[in-house]
Structure 1
């Protein structure tokens, strides 16, 4: 059965299309930019450790613009008490969801006993989820992002046990990266490409747990591919493709949500960024901190390289300001008017 038109209880509680949490990428400037491209996509923060929230600069770590909704906070950690407190603080900032990271394979994350290595301890994950749910009082969803397996613990039975155990603690929403993680011997970069994708396993997981919301992640590159996955699962999550080719987000609202308004053109999305950039510059934000997220906006089209070069080279100069963005708007307009490569 096609699930393309499946609606959740409210617009803010819809996981049909999500942009993945990505370290060093999905900061608040990136998310604000992505929100200009899609009104409906669900956005995620970078992973923030519970310890950082407990002892760090919370406004810097957790602050976001109201226009980013729906936006989720992804937490990293393994101490139920500390995670509960961090989640409570995050909920106080107004996030629409608390997500627990059980999928990151980096050595640094493993040394802190969180990320993908937690899949070896489903009972601990269940305790963490239960503590988080209690802390936020059922006001916002608590979700888990996990792999299909880790190291030698990668059978379908292992994944089923993990999902069953964590679901018993009250988690109803799982974002499943359709690759196992090799925690010994592969780098985080290699873990994004080397283990083979197994979408069918995620489909079978949804069939086995029809009462759960299952979002598929890993290797999805287009909106057409997203729509195909939505025939089998409840939602899709795109990571690198959405970041490196953000213009695909312009297709989301019409293709996956049935919106009838004409999508913005790239130069119009940049125009929408002007008030935000002006405010941020007044606060002392460097233009390059915002502009770096826009570099791929016209990728794959004639004129994309000069557009990228303009933003890359000019935004880092001392005193770089709105004139650079105005120039980028004109460069994007020229790209839109140029004949396509397929013509």
Structure 2
């Protein structure tokens, strides 16, 4: 989800669910250590609970980056061992680390010694010609032995040779049963599942077999489904936010962002799918894709877009 789940996206998603754990886009450990930390790690307090996803393969650097992130107030550190992109492979981290489970375990151990917040791992079933039974078990054995608090498994292999990152999200077949078997092997450890989950009904089915479900592109492209997460997690005890409440909160947030020197489109680019599958969705997308991108556009554009597709006005924060 690099370049997608930035702080503006996460603030938006938080308006839809108070209980979901939000994850950042992957940030490389070296960037955290040497880069602009405020830009890379800054987030709104409303985003809690929020986890930082780190990329890297040097235990010492990951420990240092994790410590910096903990000082920023993150609730969890997640090590990415699943991303198949070319730039990740060239840095010897991401999915290629599935081939070196002992190193991944060392990385987890180093981070666990550096922070008191949870340290988790996100991985694939395996890569290239690996046997997914052996590869996944070896990785899980190693990271749990060194104290990992949870393992999130994208239920596909990654083919580092022959498939593009986009193809790796769709072509390798999903194998949820393999993740279920891993959970049966580790009944007392937290195992979460990711990959190809497009609805809360599907998520609820998986939650009968694993401890958590991670939504990526479905949550981004159809964010409205997040509005039902709290109801699902509380078995109906909590309701859903209204679209008016969400848009009002986002208009106020946009006003603050613009006042700080930002642009409306930095935020609204993440909101184009809010009305997906509902009347007015096309008009909503049109306005956010054109009017919200104009120089000087303010939060009133968001309010006007909502008024154009929904019944009743929304209070402007302009």
Short-chain TM bin: over 0.9
SS at 1:314 equivalent: helix
Of 14, 38, 50, which aligns to 1:71? Answer: 50
What's 2:143 paired with?
Answer: 166
CA distance in 2, matches of 1:173, 1:260: 27
Summarize deviations over 1:56-87 as a string: whole Å, max 9, x none: 10000000000100000000000111111000
For the Cα contact (< 8 Å) 1:74–1:101, is it kept in 2? yes
What's 1:153 paired with?
Answer: 130
CA RMSD of aligned residues (A): 1.3
Residue 286 of structure 1: CA displacement?
0.8
TM-score of the superposed pair, with normalisation by structure 2: 0.96
Structure 1 residue 103 and structure 2 residue 82: aligned?
A: yes
For the Cα contact (< 8 Å) 2:98–2:135, is it kept in 1? no
What's 2:190 paired with?
Answer: 213
Gaps of at least 5 residues in structure 2 are 314-318
Structure 1 residue 281 and structure 2 residue 258: aligned?
A: yes
Structure 1 residue 124 and structure 2 residue 103: aligned?
A: yes
Aligned residue pairs, count: 313
Summarize deviations over 1:117-152 as a string: whole Å, max 9, x none: 00100110011101111111xx21000000011001
Distance 1:323 1:283, change over 3 A: same
CA distance in 2, matches of 1:119, 1:163: 10
Residue 334 of structure 1: CA displacement?
4.0
What's 1:48 paired with?
Answer: 27
CA distance in 2, matches of 1:247, 1:155: 34
CA distance in 1, matches of 2:232, 2:60: 42
Residue 268 of structure 1: CA displacement?
2.3
CA distance in 1, matches of 2:135, 2:83: 18
CA distance in 1, matches of 2:236, 2:57: 40
Structure 1 residue 115 and structure 2 residue 94: aligned?
A: yes
TM-score of the superposed pair, with normalisation by structure 1: 0.89
4+ residue segments displaced more than 6 Å: none
Summarize deviations over 1:201-235 as a string: whole Å, max 9, x none: 00000001112100000000000100000000000
CA distance in 2, matches of 1:161, 1:314: 52
Structure 1 residue 314 and structure 2 residue 291: aligned?
A: yes
Of 51, 64, 82, which aligns to 1:85? Answer: 64
CA distance in 1, matches of 2:236, 2:74: 25
What's 1:228 paired with?
Answer: 205
CA distance in 2, matches of 1:268, 1:296: 17
Of 275, 297, 302, which aligns to 2:279? Answer: 302
Distance 1:35 1:259, change over 3 A: farther
CA distance in 2, matches of 1:270, 1:75: 31
Q: Which has the higher contact order (CA 8 A, sep 6+)?
A: 1
What's 2:316 paired with?
Answer: none
CA distance in 1, matches of 2:312, 2:146: 51
Summarize deviations over 1:223-278 as a string: whole Å, max 9, x none: 01000000000000010000000000111101222353431222321111122111
CA distance in 2, matches of 1:70, 1:109: 26
For the Cα contact (< 8 Å) 2:251–2:300, is it kept in 1? no
Gaps of at least 5 residues in structure 1 are 1-21, 337-343
What's 1:196 paired with?
Answer: 173
